[in-house]
Amino acid sequence: MGYRLPEHFITYCLRGAGQVFFMENALTGVCFLLAIAYASVDTGNWATTVGAVLGLVVSTGTAYLIDARDKAITQGLYGFNGILVGIAVPTFLAAGPVMWVLLLLGAAISTVVMDAFSNVVTKNWGVAASTGPFVLTTWMLMLAAYAFANLPIASMGPPKLPEAISVAGFAGMAPQDMLVILCRNIAQVFLLGNAVSGVLIVIGLLVESIPATIAAILGSVVALFCSVLFGADPAAVKAGLYGFSPVLTAIACGVIFLKTGPKVLVFALLATIFTVIVQGALDTLLAPVGIPTFTAPYVLAMWLFTLPKTQLQPHPHAPSPDAKIGN
Amino acid sequence: MGYRLPEHFITYCLRGAGQVFFMENALTGVCFLLAIAYASVDTGNWATTVGAVLGLVVSTGTAYLIDARDKAITQGLYGFNGILVGIAVPTFLAAGPVMWVLLLLGAAISTVVMDAFSNVVTKNWGVAASTGPFVLTTWMLMLAAYAFANLPIASMGPPKLPEAISVAGFAGMAPQDMLVILCRNIAQVFLLGNAVSGVLIVIGLLVESIPATIAAILGSVVALFCSVLFGADPAAVKAGLYGFSPVLTAIACGVIFLKTGPKVLVFALLATIFTVIVQGALDTLLAPVGIPTFTAPYVLAMWLFTLPKTQLQPHPHAPSPDAKIGN
Amino acid sequence: MGYRLPEHFITYCLRGAGQVFFMENALTGVCFLLAIAYASVDTGNWATTVGAVLGLVVSTGTAYLIDARDKAITQGLYGFNGILVGIAVPTFLAAGPVMWVLLLLGAAISTVVMDAFSNVVTKNWGVAASTGPFVLTTWMLMLAAYAFANLPIASMGPPKLPEAISVAGFAGMAPQDMLVILCRNIAQVFLLGNAVSGVLIVIGLLVESIPATIAAILGSVVALFCSVLFGADPAAVKAGLYGFSPVLTAIACGVIFLKTGPKVLVFALLATIFTVIVQGALDTLLAPVGIPTFTAPYVLAMWLFTLPKTQLQPHPHAPSPDAKIGN
């Protein structure tokens, strides 16, 4: 009824950007793209912004190839993994023709993986795929880069055996330093180490949801507190690398996938703390293969904390009625 | 009807201890706690016993927070993962305030993970979560310890690349040495390297189930035989580290989850031997990240051997009727 | 009705050989066994051919122990994992009595794992287990070999941290060299580095299915093109190690599990390219533990690309109706 398809497609893509923070709002998506562009201005590396846009367009477009549901496409549910693939590839790999080919392939594949994950974790288990497809797809691309000479690595690794950290060294931190970290915790969801980008993202959240904004900020605070308490690597904490997954967990478990209430707040707090622990754990686990965790700590924690949403009876320690082998 | 709640809660906790060996019996749980305490007397390290009690109480208590089914709570199905978390943390990490915080968090998280696993492996696949939640939760805690300065490691690692073992060296073993190993194989289910603790655990099993006791002992014998046959590291074999997972597999596949019978005995024997192989495999797999396997070999083998319990038709090598992409 | 059981059982086994390439045809299986035997003639190592036959017989026979469905047994669906276990063990481990014990155990276990996988990936998710059971079982056997002195390693590893490849060096390749690689890409599905074996396999495919034959050849071409484009290790490419998984993906996604059509061809092409990427990725991932990828790149890609076969609605970014924790 008078809608023009190209305009629509752009709206879906912008919603896809917003859905990285669970916001089905094109204006939120615009704020997020500005956050990404601001970081490019700051670093001088525009490949991440170009990659973000390409990833968004290709992943949303690929949804048509695989006959995905129209409603999901319009909600932007096929764009949020693709935009993250599009930022991650030029962040960790050196720009070049084969890198751009890989980026386009990765964005398209992320849409297929989204449907694959939805079949397993949503249809069978009742939880969201969320950024799981981004994590799996981009892990494959990053691991493959070590094996392929035409995909030189810009800033990952090198692979090394994990060593126990012995000095934490948070002797003193000025309040303004803490504020910068709190913003970076939010910006790193888009792999941006820029505090101003974090502020732009918060503005984008405010456009759509005040509860989600509050959850993001509280998640950032809890992550900073816990990472200092546990004694995480100060350089990583300052870069916001201990905060981005907990921020997502706080929003997902406190506001988006569970109905906010007193018990859910305690539950989401536990989930957020657990995400900080999993961040440390996956940093150790992936050290020997030299790839980043991406949002895997969030995905794992969110799955574990949203799976038990109905009353469940664990398997009794006795044979089930359909046990039939050898009888 | 005259039952006092605190008494009940203690009973549930004790049943939780018993459920590590699938025994819903509080008295069995008392024997198991005695086995843990005996090892503490022997080593002088009481943190493991204190941790066991805390883990039991916190994990069972957390089940109320997440509105778990009352029946499952009373059966002790939320305690057996927590008690193992509570023993494992002070076994591998140095005692300190942050360690105790981590232990309490880990016990609470193990209950959430239990319900998450139940949703997937029990509701969807029809098998038991068993100690899977303990393994996953504690792996995260142990891996995180490498990344956190305030969680110093006491006895794990260091991470190293696996090297092929070349000399087995079981030149001769006295019968009494073998008996000690057979007991340690059982004690190590609770991470105890103490033969007397193994005897106390066997007594606890006898209280509830003679078939389970026999399966435990046979599983221990099969594990010792196979690990010598394959030429496993003698130090690990002597410490009981090649036996605890096979012991659990033998009970689980021979008595608990399948109906005992001639074919099931052959099947459980194959599962038990496979568990020895998986123990060696996971030792190799985890060497680069420096964490213990815990009961993962049992969990993997038990899942693989209890999943095929109904007659299944594998996927034909032809399109399924609902294949729709691109048509 | 006049059928003799031994004859039948042999037919089932031969079909099992054929099913490695999805062909339920005993004559195809004969061609494949000839391909394996030809490579043994060439290398002088007959253990792989003997292992293949033993693996086929034991895995198919074990299906009776676990009361598998008769129809699936007759289709050869319990043999194709076992034959691959039987070839892999003597390829990577040194021959000796314990190795043969391990081979027989592994073949039997692969049948149990087949039913376990079918319960999860086929019954719950609607996709084929395919060679997943072979991969998981043989990974366990290979990892365990590092831990067991009586299972000396012949040709794997050593475990090492991955290093980024910097020189591709495909300066020039003669057409006949390319032809040899295209054949090896197909032969390596059976772990054979022999081009003539590849030709015998193609003949076996032709006996049953022309579309599958075409898909295999096109998959081999795409794999060679992509691995050169990405700059993969020339030695690995020349040995056919970048091609065997893509060949299987091309057949599986282009002909077997989806209905061939214009969109499916584009989809299968993307899946095949992705398989080359995953091959590089898993080479990196497994370097620290020193084991081969086997067909894992194919299995992962095939699962991800056949899971989205029905129209799916991804999880909305909102609480699901049955979200109940803490309410």
- Averaged over B177-195, what is the pLDDT? 96
- Averaged over B290-300, what is the pLDDT? 98
Taking only the tens place, the pLDDT of each residue in A176-201 is: 899 999 999 999 999 999 999 999 99
Q: Name the domain boundary from B135, B156, B177.
A: B156
Shared-domain flag, residues B121 and B196: no
Residue of A189, A261, A222 whose CA lies nearest to A23: A189
In DSSP terms, A93 is beta-bridged to: A153
Mutation for testing the A interface, residue in C277, C282, C291, C293 having most A CBs under 10 Å: C277
Query: What one-character DSSP code corresponds to residue A318?
Result: S
Shared-domain flag, residues B9 and B150: yes
Shared-domain flag, residues A137 and A217: no
**How close, in Å, is residue A276 to chain B by CA atoms?**
9
Q: What pLDDT does residue A52 have?
A: 98
- Averaged over C53-82, what is the pLDDT? 92
Among candidates B267, B280, B323 on the partner chain, residue whose Cβ is nearest the Cβ of C309: B323
Tokens representing A206 are 């405010």
Q: Which residues of A touch C324 (CB under 8 A)?
A: 309-311
* Cα–Cα dist A69/A248, whole Å: 26
Among candidates A102, A118, A142 on the partner chain, residue whose Cβ is nearest the Cβ of C315: A118
Chains with 3 or more CB pairs under 8 A to chain A: B, C
Tokens representing B117 are 């696993």
Identity of the residue numbered B129: A
Shared-domain flag, residues B214 and B127: no
**Assigned domain for A17 exists:** yes
Taking only the tens place, the pLDDT of each residue in C169-210 is: 666 678 889 999 999 999 999 999 999 999 999 999 999 999
Q: What pLDDT does residue A170 have?
A: 66
pLDDT at A2 over 60: no
- Averaged over A33-43, what is the pLDDT? 97
Place of tokens 């494949």: C32
Shared-domain flag, residues C4 and C148: yes
HSE, side-chain direction, 13 A CA sphere, residue C213: 14
How would residue C42 be classed by pLDDT, with cut points 50, 70 and 90?
very high
- B246 φ/ψ angles, rounded to the nearest 5 degrees: -60, -35
Which helix (H) or strand (E) segment holds residue C87: the answer is: helix C80-92
Contact C162 A290 (CB under 8 A): yes
Query: What one-character DSSP code corresponds to residue A255?
Result: I
What number is the ipTM of this complex? Answer: 0.93
Domain with residue C221: its CATH number is 1.10.3430.10
In DSSP terms, B153 is beta-bridged to: B93
| Average pLDDT in chain B | 91
Domain containing B29 equals: 1-156
**How close, in Å, is residue B74 to chain A by CA atoms?**
12
Shared-domain flag, residues A109 and A202: no
Among chain B residues, the shortest Cα distance to A285 is held by B289
Q: Where are the alpha helices (DSSP H) in chain B?
A: 5-18, 26-43, 47-65, 70-74, 80-92, 97-117, 132-147, 175-187, 195-208, 210-230, 234-238, 244-251, 262-286, 296-306
In DSSP terms, B93 is beta-bridged to: B153
Helices B97-117 and B47-65: crossing angle, nearest 10°? 50
* Cα–Cα dist B39/B49, whole Å: 9
**Assigned domain for B327 exists:** no
Tokens representing B232 are 């496993």
| Average pLDDT in chain C | 91
Q: What pLDDT does residue A320 have?
A: 59
Shared-domain flag, residues B115 and B22: yes
Q: Which residues of A touch C320 (CB under 8 A)?
A: 126, 257, 309
Tokens representing C327 are 């309410």
**How close, in Å, is residue B100 to chain C by CA atoms?**
26
Contact B257 A312 (CB under 8 A): no
**Assigned domain for C140 exists:** yes
Angle value at C-alpha A179, between A174 and A184, nearest 5 degrees: 125
Q: Name the domain boundary from A156, A173, A205.
A: A156
Among chain B residues, the shortest Cα distance to A326 is held by B263
**Assigned domain for B276 exists:** yes
SS3 of residue A93 by DSSP: strand
Taking only the tens place, the pLDDT of each residue in A53-95 is: 999 999 999 998 888 888 889 999 999 999 999 999 999 999 9
Shared-domain flag, residues B215 and B101: no
- Averaged over A226-243, what is the pLDDT? 96
Q: Which residues of C touch A21 (CB under 8 A)?
A: none
Give yes or no for a contact between B60 and B78, defined as CB atoms under 8 angstroms apart.
yes
Q: What pLDDT does residue B315 have?
A: 72
pLDDT at B148 over 80: yes
Q: What pLDDT does residue B142 have?
A: 98
pLDDT at B188 over 90: yes
Tokens representing A222 are 């809890």
pLDDT at B3 over 60: no
Tokens representing A215 are 């959850």
Identity of the residue numbered B219: G
Contact C258 B65 (CB under 8 A): no
**Assigned domain for A314 exists:** no
Among candidates A65, A129, A147 on the partner chain, residue whose Cβ is nearest the Cβ of C284: A147
Taking only the tens place, the pLDDT of each residue in B240-291 is: 999 999 999 999 999 999 888 888 999 999 999 999 999 999 999 999 999 9
pLDDT at C2 over 70: no
**Assigned domain for A77 exists:** yes
**Assigned domain for C228 exists:** yes
Place of tokens 């995260």: B140
pLDDT at C77 over 60: yes
Shared-domain flag, residues B122 and B26: yes
How would residue C308 be classed by pLDDT, with cut points 50, 70 and 90?
confident
Q: What pLDDT does residue B262 have?
A: 87
Shared-domain flag, residues B76 and B195: no
Q: What pLDDT does residue B124 have?
A: 87
Among chain A residues, the shortest Cα distance to B307 is held by A323
Q: Name the domain boundary from B156, B174, B203.
A: B156
Q: Please count the structural domains in chain A.
A: 2
**Assigned domain for A82 exists:** yes
Shared-domain flag, residues C126 and C247: no
Shared-domain flag, residues A139 and A3: yes
- Of all residues in chain B, the percent with pLDDT exceeding 70 is 91
- Averaged over B206-219, what is the pLDDT? 97
Q: Which residues of C touch A129 (CB under 8 A)?
A: 314-315
- Averaged over B173-197, what is the pLDDT? 94
pLDDT at A289 over 80: yes
**How close, in Å, is residue B207 to chain C by CA atoms?**
33
**How close, in Å, is residue B291 to chain C by CA atoms?**
14
Contact A141 C277 (CB under 8 A): yes
